[in-house]
Amino acid sequence: MQSKNIPLDERIIFALDVASPEEAKRLVERLESHIHFYKVGLQLFLSGWFPIVEWIAGRGHKVMLDLKFYDIPQTVSLAAGQLAGRGVTFATVHGNEPIVRAAAGAGAGVTILAVTVLTSFSSEDMGKFFGYRGKVEDLVLDRARAAVASGAGGIVASGAEAPRLRSELGEDFLIVTPGIRPAGTVAGKDDQKRVVTAGSAIGGGADYVVVGRPVRDATDPFAVIETMQEEISHSLGRLG
C-alpha cells in the first residue's frame, strides 16, 4: 500500500502513553501542528475512557485505539461493536484467527489491526517464555497471513519484518510499525527489542510508524518529528 495517498502528517502515529487525559490533551495541543494521528493505549484509555478518544477525533485527528482485544470471539465481537461512532480509525486485537474474524465482523466501521508478536519480544524471549523454538520473523509471517485471511485490515509488526510481509503477502493490507527510534539511537535501553528508524520502516514496506518516548522526552520534539518525516519522505521518494 505504499502507493496510497497517506498524508505525511498521518504517517507518524504519536503514542499518548501518559497517565491522564489532561496530559494527553496538552501533548495533542502541542504537537498537532505536525502530527494528526494519535495512539490511545491501555493506560490512557483506562484513565480517560471514550471521552479522550472523542476529544482527539473532534479536533480533526485520527485515533488508533491500542487495547489488543483478546478474549472468546463473542466477547471480542461485542467489545469491537462498542467502537462504532467513537471516532476510532484503527483498533488492535491479538492476531489469533477467531479473534480477528470476530472483531472484523462486528461492523463497527473501524480498521482492525492484528498484533503479530509484540516488539518487546525477541526470538530468545519467544523460546524462553512461550516455548517457540523457531525464528520470530517466521511466526510473524504465519500470524500475519492468517490474520489478513481472517479479515484484518492491517498488521502490527516490527519494521524488521515488514519487507518479508510485503514480499510474501502483497500490498493489500496496512503495516503499522511500533518500536521506532531516531537514527543513531535504535540501540537505546528500553523495553523495545526489535527497533528500527522511521525511514527504514517505511522503506521496508510499513505504512505507518508509532513513536512515543523519542518525541515526548525530546528537548526539541519538533526537530525529532521533522527529521523522521524527512526520512519517511526520502524513503517514499525512493519507492516511487
pLDDT digits (tens, 9 = 90+) for 47-79: 999 999 999 999 999 999 999 999 999 999 999
Decide if 146 is inside a domain: yes
Selection from 207, 154, 214, 204 nearest residue 180 by Cα: 214
**In terms of pLDDT, which residue wins out, 131 or 209?**
209
Question: Is 3 inside any structural domain?
Answer: no
- Bridge partners (DSSP) of residue 172 are none
> What's the predicted TM-score (pTM) here?
0.86
Q: Looking at the 3D structure of the chain, how many domains does it have?
A: 1
Return phi, psi of residue 177, to 5°. Answer: -115, 115
Spatial CA neighbour of 88 closest among 69, 75, 116: 69
pLDDT of residue 187: 44
Q: Is residue 30 scored above 50 in pLDDT?
A: yes
Give the mean pLDDT of 140-164. Answer: 90
User: What is the sign, positive or negative, of the torsion defined by CA atoms of 114, 176, 121, 91?
Assistant: negative
pLDDT at position 12 over 50: yes
CATH of the domain at 82: 3.20.20.70
Active site includes 68?
Answer: yes
Q: How much is the mean pLDDT over the chain?
A: 86
Q: Which of 4, 25, 68, 128 is catalytic?
A: 68
In a domain, 113, yes or no: yes
Is residue 195 domain-resident?
Answer: yes
- Bigger pLDDT: 187 vs 151: 151
- What pLDDT score does 235 carry? 86
Residue matched to cell numbers 494527553: 24
Task: Give residue 232's domain range.
Answer: 8-239
